[in-house]
A and B are shown apart, each in its own frame.
Chain A
Amino acid sequence: MENLEFLKTLCELSATSGSEKAVQDFLEKEFGALSLYIKRSGLGDVIATNFDEGECDILFDAHSDQVGFVATEILDNGFIKVSPVGSPDPRAVSGAKVRVCGKETIEGVITTTPPHLSKGEELRELNEIYVDTCLSDIEGKVSVGDRICFEPVFMPLLNKKIAATGLDNKVSILALYMAAKKLLGSDKKIAFAFSGREEVGLCASGAAAETVNPRRAVVVDVSFGFSGKGQKSECGKLGGGVMIGFSPVLSEEFSLEAEEICKKNAIPSQREIMHSKTGTNADAISISGLGVKTITASIPIYAMHTGAETVLMRDAENTAEFLVKLVSGLEG
């Protein structure tokens, strides 16, 4: 499948944490089509490998879930009370279009506070918000526990920049897909893990890693791009290339090696400095099993956890290129 088409199709699929079947089925099909072996962890995570047995040289992980909401109460007049799944950006919730994944798929709108009832600029708590399905009656159509996510958006902007829903972490999945296509002939044993439930506490990546027992792991995720306000030092630059993570919980020698590979191959890269845990699956994978030498390779985006995150495609391409060169540099 062509890369942009792959991303667009993926962004159209809704996968709030733990409700990821549509995305998992899609990944099984598309990575299967590359003649890779498909394994499933005990938690259902899709793992595509180019080997059937033996020790895995390197694991690339990209989580397959996204933030959203869950229905907690079905109300009269087509309204639903919801709670967050993961951490949607509370600043981008009011008045957002959503997709209610019930017995059937229904579109809805998150209610806004009418001006005459508004208390200044105060936002509602995320477990105190309502979805309006714009229908009179939704009995039998939506149940408590049904998932709700931002209505998928996929909007190409200038310079191959994309605004889309769930780029966290679908653009990383794309990077793995681009890398996998270029690594088809590799003699190294590579696993691509699409672990679930990351947004609710890195719940599944350890299990995914233990399914293949890798020697090393690269966790590919998105990170914050600096837009001009706040602390520049804690953010990446969009267009600045793959963000190589440096953190006390990552392998320092592996981070340095990664940086060297980028330099040697003229792949744009930037350092991402984290003073403690990374907040990514690397925190879980590095201490899975008997321990895995792990780094993060992040793609900078704007507007994380809103309904329309933005990314420059070339940062995803650089990230994929880094993964390819990393494999070819691995010792026999």
Chain B
Amino acid sequence: MELLKRLCSFVAPSGSEGKLREFILSEIKDYAEKCEVDALGNLIVSVKGEKRASKKLMLIAHMDEVGFIVTDIMSNGLLKFNTVGGFCEEVLCGKSVEFKNGIKGVIIPAVALHQTSEKDRKTAPSVDDLFIDIGALDKEDAEKFVCLGDKASFEPNFSENEKCVISKALDDRIGVYILINLIKKGLLYDCVFVFSVQEEVGLRGATTSANRVSPDMAIIIDSTTASDLPEVSGSDRVCLLGKGGAVSFMDRATVYDEGFYKLIMKTAEKNSIPVQFKTRVAGGNDAGAVHKSGNGVVCAAVSTPCRYIHSAFSVAAKSDIKAIEDLLRATVSEILA
């Protein structure tokens, strides 16, 4: 898990994936036939397998994470900010953040606790009621360290126990981690790997990389909400930690190719790899852009079940990460024959 920990240590909100991309490139370049970086910053990697593939398969995981962008600096040195990507506002207050230049801060509530109304205490504060405190004494002092438009993410905070990893940005560093492992360990057939940018702000990197690669098929390796929590039952749980990758049949952005996801489920069964369906039509991923690109691309999505996704401490099961890697390897061998 050392590599995943390293990947989670990068501050890479949408549009600021550069340093993470350089690191990924340094990890995989010795295994690649060709590496390209496009105008948006997507990293596109062609990897030779043991055999030539019958079709062009693209495996895609996004590099970016949700984060914050400075919109104003107050006279007292506190920073006003907005979110980059989608958040439930309840997860923001009290969390530590880090800017690209290493400056650290915490998200504090604007209104002091003793002045809150009963309603305030029952409502998640919006970004208008939160500030980032970096310790600046006033506006001028703050401007020495932070400019309007600077981006931050939750502070890197990776930890693990015997079952799970706990970190910011597991969405989608786990996908990146799995792709790097597949590249390093090798696949039976040729594949194109894409590490995309700007997924969290509208699948933008996937759009241009799909146009460039023009694949016949694509598998999106992302993370999805696991709601296997107390008081939640049945399909409301979406997917469960420890039950393998979550395969989508439909989400808010894509209706997936029936033949493709059924083949993945069958491959899992044949190889005794844990797998599950994502049981709720919710969320979306790069497939939303990829399947509509060019003259159309057959897509599937295999996601890591992730509790508290888009928060400072998201949680995923280590066994699921391994299961997805195994499932992708088996699927590549199956469909490109």
Contact = CB atoms under 8 A, between A and B. Distances in A.
B294 interface: no
A116 B313 contact: no
Contacts of A93: 94
A92 B161 contact: no
A89 to B, nearest CB: 5
A109 B313 contact: yes
Contacts of B91: 94-95, 112
A123 B122 contact: yes
B112 interface: yes
A163 B106 CA distance: 7
A97 B157 contact: yes
Contact of B313 (A95, A135, A224): A95
B230 interface: yes
Contacts of B272: none
A89 B94 contact: yes
Interface stretch (B17-25, B135-143, B256-264): B135-143
Contacts of A329: none
A279 B122 CA distance: 22
Contacts of B125: 91
Interface in B136-161: 136-137, 141, 145, 155, 157, 159, 161
B162 interface: yes
Given A89-B109, A161-B135, A308 B126 contact: no
Given A158-B136, A158-B141, A228 B96 contact: no
Interface in B93-121: 93-96, 103-106, 108-116, 120-121
A132 B307 contact: yes
Interface string A118-142: 1001110000001010111000000
B113 A117 contact: no
B76 A97 contact: no
B166 A229 contact: no
A274 to B, nearest CB: 10
A91 B124 contact: yes
B202 to A, nearest CB: 17
The DSSP consensus for interface residues of chain A is: loop
Contacts of A111: 229-230, 307-308
Contacts of A225: 112
Given A91-B124, A230-B110, A116 B95 contact: no
B232 interface: yes
A293 interface: no
A308 B94 contact: yes
Given A79-B230, A90-B122, A112-B88, 8 more contacts: A91-B93, A91-B123, A91-B124, A97-B157, A134-B161, A158-B141, A238-B76, A303-B93
19 contacts: A75-B230, A79-B229, A91-B109, A91-B116, A94-B311, A96-B312, A97-B157, A111-B307, A113-B88, A114-B227, A157-B135, A158-B137, A161-B133, A227-B78, A230-B111, A234-B112, A235-B112, A302-B133, A306-B109
Interface of B: 74-76, 78, 88-91, 93-96, 103-106, 108-116, 120-126, 129, 131, 133-137, 141, 145, 155, 157, 159, 161-164, 166, 225, 227-230, 232, 236, 238, 242, 280, 282, 307-308, 311-313, 315
The 10 A-B pairs with the shortest beta carbon distances in the complex, nearest first, are: A157-B135, A92-B94, A161-B135, A158-B135, A306-B94, A95-B91, A224-B112, A229-B110, A134-B164, A303-B108
